[in-house]
Amino acid sequence: MQRELNRYTFEQNALGEGYDAIAGNRDLQNTWLRNYALAMSQELSELVDSTNWKWWRTKVDLFDEQNIKVELVDILHFWVSACQVMGLSAEDVHRMYMQKNAVNRKRQDSGYLKKDEADNRGIG
């Protein structure tokens, strides 16, 4: 579903050679990972703006639950697109999530005293 939306978006906006041109092209992967990361950053900012985070303001109920949910889905939209740019399937993401979860659990169990980036290299 996301792939089809991305193809449509690329076509409608005449973005380069099309969405499928990204696969295997390091320059395009770099560009679109950056684009999707920036888009996620913007959506995260919009999510924060939907919360009552400004402690210096008079407490007003600015917690917009409905918009927060929409912003989370927007973030997911761009996150899935970034995963697709890197060729990650849902199964790949699940497997890697489980592996990374085990690494994080081990770090927590050790009091996170030693962070070893090498433990991330085995994920994949």
Together in a domain, 8 and 65: yes
CATH number for the domain that contains residue 80: 1.10.287
Together in a domain, 63 and 93: no
Together in a domain, 65 and 116: no
Together in a domain, 68 and 43: yes
Q: Could you tell me which of 41, 3, 43 has the C-alpha nearest to residue 23?
A: 3
How does pLDDT run across 9-63, given as a tens digit for each residue?
999 999 989 999 999 999 999 999 999 999 999 999 999 999 888 878 776 777 8
In this structure, are residues 33 and 82 in contact, taking their beta carbons and an 8 Å threshold? yes
Together in a domain, 103 and 64: no
State the total domains in the chain.
2
With the C-alpha atoms ordered 117, 118, 120, 121, is the resulting torsion angle positive or negative? positive
Together in a domain, 76 and 106: no
Together in a domain, 42 and 62: yes
Percent of the chain with pLDDT over 90: 72
Give this prediction's pTM. Answer: 0.86
Together in a domain, 78 and 106: no
Together in a domain, 25 and 77: yes
Q: Work out the mean pLDDT of the chain and round it to a whole number.
A: 92
